[in-house]
A = this chain, B = another copy of it.
Amino acid sequence: MNFSSRLLEQAVDEFGRLPGVGKKTALRLVLHLLKQSDGEVARFTGAINQLKEQIKYCKTCFNISDNQECEICASLKRDHQTICVVEDTRDVMAIENTNQYQGVYHVLGGLISPMDGVGPSDLKIEPLIERIKQFEVKEVILALSATMEGDTTIFYLYRKLKDFNIQISTIARGIAFGGELEYVDEITLGRSIATRVPYERNVG
């Protein structure tokens, strides 16, 4: 691209570093910001700076929080004996949106991925084990993505946790509700048949 301004080029470069944002999108976003008032641009950059400077992570579950302990961990209404292990804060939000889960969480901060140089020590796995040792935990739900990295992390966690006297479960995998059979990929469909469940359990 032929930029008429070095300042413009710098800002577009910075936006272009964001995941999924190409040069053309970056330019569109920067030109949009340029059209906004000084106050609006200051609010945009201020919100990011403030988040980066003041962000805290819950000391128990490592979810993003404004306080030392997140609202979920501080709540007396939640079941603190059930811990749902997730990759990041987005998964916490997704599960909270279902209104189906009353337990607490543990945010790993990633998945084991040798390709990306992420090993078990880069994740909050030790604090999870400490949590299980210190507090009375009945069940750990491994709610990780059905990807290679997710499966690797589940396998690693299972080996670490299997000697504790707790129930270890993973979330159910199969065809999505509302999904039409002919559009389901082969692996999911094959596994769905292999791991079929009695009708009574599925409607329950």
Report copies per complex. 2
Q: CB-CB contacts of A110-151 with B at 8 A, as 1s and 0s? A: 000000000000000000000000000000000000000000
Asked whether A197 is an interface residue with its Cβ less than 8 Å from the other chain, the reply is: no
Chain B residues whose CB sits within 8 angstroms of the CB of A8 once the complex forms: 51, 55, 64, 89
Asked whether A97 is an interface residue with its Cβ less than 8 Å from the other chain, the reply is: yes
Contact status B97-A1, CB under 8 Å: yes
Q: From A25-33, A76-84, A174-182, give the one contacting chain B.
A: A25-33
Complex CA gap A71/B8 in Å reads 14
Q: How far is the CB of A70 from chain B (nearest CB, A)?
A: 5
Q: How far is the CB of A37 from chain B (nearest CB, A)?
A: 10
Asked whether A11 is an interface residue with its Cβ less than 8 Å from the other chain, the reply is: yes
Q: CB-CB contacts of A2-39 with B at 8 A, as 1s and 0s? A: 11111110110111011111000101111111100010
Q: CB-CB contacts of A39-70 with B at 8 A, as 1s and 0s? A: 00111110111111111101000011110001
Asked whether A92 is an interface residue with its Cβ less than 8 Å from the other chain, the reply is: yes
Contact status A48-B63, CB under 8 Å: no
Given contacts A14-B43, A29-B19, A55-B34, contact A4 B49 (CB under 8 A): no
Chain B residues whose CB sits within 8 angstroms of the CB of A63 once the complex forms: 4
Q: How far is the CB of A18 from chain B (nearest CB, A)?
A: 5
Chain B residues whose CB sits within 8 angstroms of the CB of A53 once the complex forms: 38
Q: How far is the CB of A129 from chain B (nearest CB, A)?
A: 23
Complex CA gap A11/B43 in Å reads 9
Given contacts A51-B30, A52-B33, contact A7 B66 (CB under 8 A): yes
Contact status B51-A34, CB under 8 Å: yes
The chain B residue sitting closest to A71, CB to CB, is: B4
Taking a contact as CB atoms closer than 8 A, the residue among B33, B49, B66 that contacts A5 in the complex is: B66
> A interface vs B, CB < 8 Å?
1-8, 10-11, 13-15, 17-21, 25, 27-34, 38, 41-45, 47-56, 58, 63-66, 70-72, 88-90, 92-93, 96-97
